[in-house]
Amino acid sequence: MAAEIQPQPQARKPCLLSKIEAFQEVVSTAMIIPKEDGVISLSEDRAIRVWLKRDSGQYWPSVHHTMPSSCSCMSFNPETRRLSVGMDTGVIFMEFVFFAAHQGKVTVVLFVLEMEWLLSTGQDKNFTWHCSESGQQLGTYRTTAWVSGLQFDVETRHAFVGDQSGQVTILKLEQDSCGLVTTFKGHTGNVTALCWDPVQRVLFSGSSDHSIIMWDIGGRKGTAIELQGHNDKVQGLCYASHTRQLISCSSDGGIVIWNMDVKRQETPEWLDSDSCQKCEQPFFWNFKQMWDSKKIGLRQHHCRKCGQAVCGKCSSKRSTIPLMGFEFEVRVCDSCHESITDEDRAPTATFHDSKHNIVYMHYEPTTGNLLTSGSDKVIKLWDMTPVVS
């Protein structure tokens, strides 16, 4: 009896479904409303708008409300239809109940339905959580820098906090207290986006240094996988668990779809050496060997595959190493270049141009649609549904 071959979903090129262009200012946050076939947007002119799709296929505003002060972020729960809006010094929740949560601009707001908690962070470097029913502040935690990314795991009550210093902090939240679990740092720039996958127990962080790091929280081994596929600041991250694909976008308009259903490898630590670990020529600070060998010191480089310190002559080749996250060509030593096969160079990501500079991104898994908001004051809706081959 022949085995049945199950068709596998394949990534497809994002298909532009619709545009919403009737904005006077840049839309800082927008979200897809799946059950209504609509969009809710928050723009820099303090306007909150609800757009519903008409029979013509166009989106028209059905609700328009102007907030009393400038707004910076928004969270919407489609199950409860609750809206949380971050303002200059606090958060407005649901029926316009105001939470005086911060002394500075609110940067991220997140409503946790299962706990009835409202989490928020601000430029005052405070992370707070309130009871959404009573309005009571349950706790606060002082961060080292103002927070730009926030995620929460309901099962463990862990909050993941990414800040402007490039650090990610894990906090254990209780009803009226919190404890520091750990901190880790892998970015050279500030954290700009976080995405948590509760099934695989993996945290993704994006940064202004153009990189993405996948932190294996559940594996408890401290594994960190780098993903290098953007040429500008990473603006948004979302994970499609049903296809095991990570979707990322950057401020230059790039959208990258990463296949996470492959066994990826950690990048090696860069080794220290006073001379090339291939030809043993001294580097320019190794005065003793330069004097003894009567040779001019060379500049130090590192092979991205093995991590060895090498000179330019011994690392003249370039190659992609997709399983290490290097989708663009990087420096490798000559011996590693010879060991990399065509199969090793097979890409694990696809690259697409949204044709506008993205400031915000939202993915709706129930419809497979992606929303991007650009500095051109336009919202674009994309069909990201994978095709079955």
How many structural domains is the chain composed of? 2
The C-alpha atoms of residue 362 and residue 338 are separated, in whole angstroms, by 41
CATH number at 285 reads 3.30.40.10
Q: What angle do CA 295, 298, 303 make, to 5 degrees?
A: 135
| 248 and 279 housed in the same domain | no
Segments forming the whole domain that contains residue 312: 269-289+300-345
CATH number at 101 reads 2.130.10.10
The 358-364 sheet, strands edge to edge: 15-20, 379-383, 369-374, 358-364
pLDDT of residue 72: 61
Q: What is the pLDDT of residues 253-312, one digit of tens each?
A: 999 999 999 999 888 889 988 888 889 888 877 677 767 777 776 788 999 999 999 999
Best CA proximity match to 89, nearest among 135, 138, 123: 123
40 touches 83 (CB < 8 A):
yes
Q: pLDDT band for 3, please (50, 70, 90 cuts).
A: very low
Q: Is the pLDDT of residue 11 over 70?
A: no
Our CA dihedral for 28, 33, 39, 41, rounded to 10 degrees, sits at -30
Across-strand partners of 27? 43
Q: What is the pLDDT of residues 105-126, one digit of tens each?
A: 778 888 888 888 888 888 888 8
| 207 and 331 housed in the same domain | no
| 263 and 337 housed in the same domain | no
The C-alpha atoms of residue 198 and residue 219 are separated, in whole angstroms, by 12
Question: What distance separates the 2 farthest-apart alpha carbons in the chain?
Answer: 82
| 305 and 377 housed in the same domain | no
Prediction pTM value: 0.84
| 177 and 242 housed in the same domain | yes
